[in-house]
Structures are given as structure tokens and as C-alpha cells.
Structure 1
Amino acid sequence: MVGKLDLYKIFCKVGKSESFSKAAKDLFMTQPAVSQAIMQLEKELDTRLFNRSPKGVSLTNEGSLLFEYANSAINLIHVGEEKILEFKNLTAGELRIGVGDTISRYFLLPYLEAFHNSYPNIKFTIVNGTTFELCAVLKSGGVDIAICNLPIDDSTLELRSCFDIQDIFVYGEKFKKILARPISLHELIKLPLIFLESKSNSRKYVEDYMLAKGIKISPEFELGSHDLLLEFAKINLGIACVTKEFSKEYLTKGLLHEVQLIEEIPKRNVGVCFLKSVPLSPASTRFVEMVENK
């Protein structure tokens, strides 16, 4: 059975061509099928839409009125289909990413640049926050994907690991003699410590690991950004817990030195997160693929 939308598409094609046979050819249908479709529409509307003659067909007054609206509607549907195709082909659309400042600076920027160069018409929206905050924004629909410090214990989220990171402790010149040899975590906590604030996922990971060893930390300073950790350690305010991969500039230039621990803290990951229950948009899918296939 021909659907209502198909009936109007056939109606508009006949109205434009003023011929059942021409419309049938354009629609890859038989002429009897086109005639039957028009008769069905006229029956449903209880209105004659075309004047028939040996030379062809022409719209009645009622048919002309209907054609004006139906043709506009069909055109709008075509525009909508084209827009959907644009989204699929990544020639239009938006990509909303949740990410922390540190991961954004040291990891995300090259991927944003590469993606923008490949798909310049995709608009970016970047939302900053802690891992906890970003997961909440993700679940509320505020972003499409989030790039976070793992692990995350949330069954509603799909987690894709991107790369490993190592938590280390760093110090400035003042502590160079004290930390000239490898030390244990028990020795470390006797020194003034600098950590991220307690709600940080990075802080929680290290703190949980140390608690599992029977070690409870009591930091001298609790800060809101990774860069501040590095700066506080550089001016000898304490021993800072930082991410090695995000501290290379300070370590390479000798501005800070890594504490040699007898037992290293196990590595963890930075990864992409998104809702299991919501399909990713074409732009989000392509971006996740780009990050995973780095």
C-alpha cells in the first residue's frame, strides 16, 4: 500500500509535469500505478485534483491550492534530508566536549586542531571541569563526550582508554639533599606534601592507593590546578603529587626533580567517556576514532 507521503510526492510530480506518463517515468513507476495513486488521494480527500484530457492533465483550483502547500512541504523534507546528510558527512554539526584544563592543554589540543582542519564546519563547544563534574554534565546531556582521568566507577558510561599516565612526586632545589636517594611512601609523608583538592579524581586515585598501604596523607597545600602544583613545588613549598606526562617541561629544564620512590604508584589512564544509552553523533564518533587511533 502506498503511504500518504508517497501519495503527495506522486501528486506533486504529476502537478509539475502535467502528465501521468512523464511523472511515471521520473518516479520509475508504471503509468497505471501513478493514476491509481492520484485516484486514491482524490478519494481520501473527496476532491478532484486534476482535470484530465487527451493532451494531459492540469490542476483544478482545489488541486492548485493543495499543490502550493504539498510542494512546499516536500521541498522542506528534502532540505531536512540534505541537512541530515551534511551531519553524516561532517560538513555541518556541533561537537561538545567536556575536559579538564590540564588534559585539554597537554593532550586534547592537537586532536582539536587535526579535527578542525579535517572538518572545518563542525562547531566546537568545550566545557571545563573536574572528572566528577564532567560526568554529571555528560549524564545531563550538556556534552557529547568527556575526556577524563580514569578509573571511573559508573555503569552508565562507556569508557575508552586513550593513554597511560604515571603519578609521581616532584620537588625543588631545597629538598635535593633530603631526596638524593630512593625513599618509601612512609618516609615521603613525613615531608610537606602538595596535592590537588580532595574532589579531584587524580588525588583520589593516589590517596586510595596509599590508604591501601596503610598510609594516610595530610597535605600542607590542596590546590585547584596541576600547574599550581608545579609552581608551588618549584618555589620549595613542598613535595607535589603530579602527573609525569604533564610535567615534562619542568623536569626536562631541571626546574623540578622526580622523587625516586622504592615502590612506584601504579599507572592509570586518561580516557574518553560517553553515555551507553545514547548513540554518538557522527562528529563525536569520528572524534573518538581519531583519539583512539592516535
Structure 2
Amino acid sequence: MISKLDLYRVFCTVGKSESFSKAAKDLYMSQPAVSQAIMQLEKDLDTRLFNRTPKGVSLTNEGSLLFEYVNSAINLIDVGEGKILEFKNLTMGELRIGVGDTISKYFLLPYLETFHNRYPNIKFKIVNGTTFEICSILKSGEVDIAICNLPIADPAFELKSCINVQDIFVCGEKYKPILSKRLSFQELVKLPLIFLEPNSNSRKYVEDYILSKGIKIAPEFELGSHDLLLEFAKINLGIACVTKEFSQEYLNRGILYELQLIEDIPMRNIGVCFLKNVPLSRASTKFVEIIENRQSRMGI
């Protein structure tokens, strides 16, 4: 059974071509099927839409009025379908990512560059925040995916681990003498410590692990960014807990020094996070694939 929308598509085609036979050709239908569709529409509307003549057909006054509205509507539908196709082909759209400043700087940028080179018409919206803040906006639908510090214990999220990272403690020139031996956690917490703020997921991970050994930390400084941790340690304000992979420039140049511990903090992960019950957009799916493929090539 032909739908009402199909009837209107036939009506528009006949109205433009002023011929049942030409419309039938354009629509890949038989001429009797086109005639039947027009008669069905006229019956439904209880209005004659076309004048029939031996030379063809022409719109009646009522038909001309209807044609203006229906033709506009059909054009809008076609434009809408075209836009959907553009989204599917990634020739337009937006990729919304929630991520922390540090992960943006030291992890995310190469993937953004690769994605942009492949799909230059996709716009980026990057929302920064702590892992807790990013997870909240992910649940609210403000971003499509989040890239954050794991672990995250929330059954609403699908998690994909991307890279292992190591938390370490670093110091500047003033504290170099303590590098001569391995330190226990008991000895470590007696030093002036510099940590991220308490609501940071990476801070909680390290703090919880040390606490599991029966030792509580009491930092001298609590800061809002990883780069500040490095800078505070650089000017000898204390011993900073940092991510080794994001501190290589300072370590390689001899600006900061890694403390040797009797027991290392276990490695943790940085990964992609998205809602289990919400399908990823095409752009988000491709972005996650780029991350996974690159990590696979690197053997991670």
C-alpha cells in the first residue's frame, strides 16, 4: 500500500513535469500506477488537483496552492536526508570530548590531529574538567565521549583502556641528597609533599594505595594542574607526585629527579569512557577507532 508521503512525491513530480507518462519515467513507475496515485490523493482530499487534457495535465487552482506547500516540504525532507548522509559520511558534524587539561596536552593532541586530517569538516568541542566533572557532563549528554584517568567504578559507563601510566615522586636540586637510597612510604610522607587537589582521580588513586598500607598523606600543597606540580617541585617547594609519562621533558633535561621507592605505586590507566546505553555517533566511533588502532600499532 502506497504511503501518504509517496502520494505527495508522485503529486509533486506530476506537477513539475505536467505529464503522467514523464512522471512515471522519473519515478520508475508505470503510468497507470501514477494515475492511480493521483486519483487516490484527489479522493483523500476530496479535491480535483489536475486538469486532464490530451496534451497532458496542469494543476488546478487548488492543486497549485497545495503544490507550493508540498514541494517545499518534500525539498526540506530531501535536504534533511542529505544532512543525515553527510553525518554518516563524516562530511559534517561535531565531535564533543570531555577531557582534563593534562591528558589533553600530553595524550590527546596527536589523535585530534589525525582525526582532523581525515575528517576536516567535523568540528571539535573540547570540555575540560576533572574526571569527576567530565563523568557528570558525559551523563548529562553534553559530551559524546570522555578521556580520563581510570579506574572509574560506575556501571553506566563503557571503559576502554588506552595507555598505562606510572605515578612517581619527583624533586628539585635541594632534595637531591635523598636520591641516594630507596624510600619507604613511611619516610616519604615525612617530606613536604605536593599533590593534585583531593577531587582529582589520579590523586585519589595514589592516596588510596598509600592508605591501604596504613599510611595517610598530608600534602603541604594541593594544586589544580599537573604542570604546576612540576613547577613547584622545580623551585624546591617539596616532593611532587606526578605522572611519569607526562613529566619526561623535566626528567630528561635534569630539571627534576625521580625518587626511588622501596615499593612503586602500581600502574594505572588512561582510557576512553562513554555511556553504555547510548550509541556512539559516527564521529565518536571513528575517533575511538583511531585511538585503538594507534595504540595497537604501538603495542600497547
TM-score range, shorter chain: over 0.9
Paired residue for 1:98? 98
Distance in 2, Cα, partners of 1:80 & 1:235: 58
2:297 corresponds in structure 1 to: none
- 1:293 corresponds to which residue? 293
* 1:230 is aligned to 2:248: no
Matched to 2:186, the amino acid is H
In the other structure, the counterpart of 2:121 is 121
Whole-Å Cα distance in 2 between the matches of residues 281 and 60 of structure 1?
Answer: 46
Which segment drifts farther, 174-183 or 249-258? 174-183
Aligned to 1:138: 138
Are 1:203 and 2:203 an aligned pair? yes
In 2, the alpha carbon distance for the partners of 1:28 and 1:211 equals 74
Greater Cα offset, 264-273 or 181-190 = 181-190
Deviations along 1:108-136, one digit per CA (max 9) or x if unpaired, are 11111222222221111111110001111
Partner of 2:17: 17
2:150 maps to 150
- TM-score, normalization by structure 1: 0.97
Counterpart code for 1:214: G
**1:67 alignment counterpart:** 67
Opposite residue 98 of structure 1, the aligned amino acid is: G
Query: Distance in 2 between the 1:158 and 1:24 partners?
Result: 51
C-alpha distance after superposition, 1:183-240 (max 9, x if no partner): 2222211211111110000000001111111111111111111011111111111111
**Cα offset, 1:25, TM superposition:** 1.7
CA distance in 2 between counterparts of 1:178 and 1:146 reads 39
Amino acid aligned to 1:108: L
In the other structure, the counterpart of 2:56 is 56
Give the Cα–Cα distance (whole angstroms) in 1 for the partners of residues 281 and 21 of structure 2: 42
Q: 1:93 offset after TM fit, Å?
A: 1.0
What's the RMSD between the two structures over aligned residues? 1.1
TM-superposition CA deviations, 1:37-73 (whole Å, max 9, x none): 1111001100011112232222111111111111111
Give the CA deviation at 1:163.
Answer: 0.7
Specify the SS of the correspondent of 2:92. Answer: coil
Q: What residue is the counterpart of 1:168 in the other structure?
A: 168
Work out the CA distance in 1 between the residues paired with 2:76 and 2:120.
26
1:247 positional shift: 0.2
Q: Gaps spanning 5+ residues in structure 1: where?
A: none
Q: Determine if the alignment matches structure 1 residue 284 to structure 2 residue 284.
A: yes
| Distance in 1 of aligned mates of 2:222 and 2:62 | 76
Q: Which amino acid aligns with 2:57?
A: V
Deviation of the 1:151 alpha carbon: 0.5
Secondary structure of 1:293's match? Answer: helix
AA aligned to 1:253 is R
Give the Å deviation of 1:244: 0.3
Report deviation, 1:277.
2.0
> For residues 79-102 of structure 1, what are the alpha-carbon distances to aligned partners after superposition, in whole Å with 9 as ceiling and x for unaligned?
111111111111111111111110
Structure 1: which 4+ aligned runs deviate by more than 6 Å?
none
Give the letter aligned to residue 126 of structure 1.
I
Paired residues in the alignment total 294
- Alpha-carbon separation, structure 1, partners of 2:223 and 2:151: 21
| In structure 2, distance between residues paired with 1:177 and 1:191 | 13
Q: In 1, distance between residues paired with 2:140 and 2:269?
A: 24
In structure 2, the gaps of 5 or more residues are 295-300
Q: 2: CA distance between counterparts of 1:127 and 1:68?
A: 44
Secondary structure of the 1:92 match is coil
Opposite residue 281 of structure 2, the aligned amino acid is S
Partner of 2:212: 212
CA distance in 1, matches of 2:35, 2:268: 68
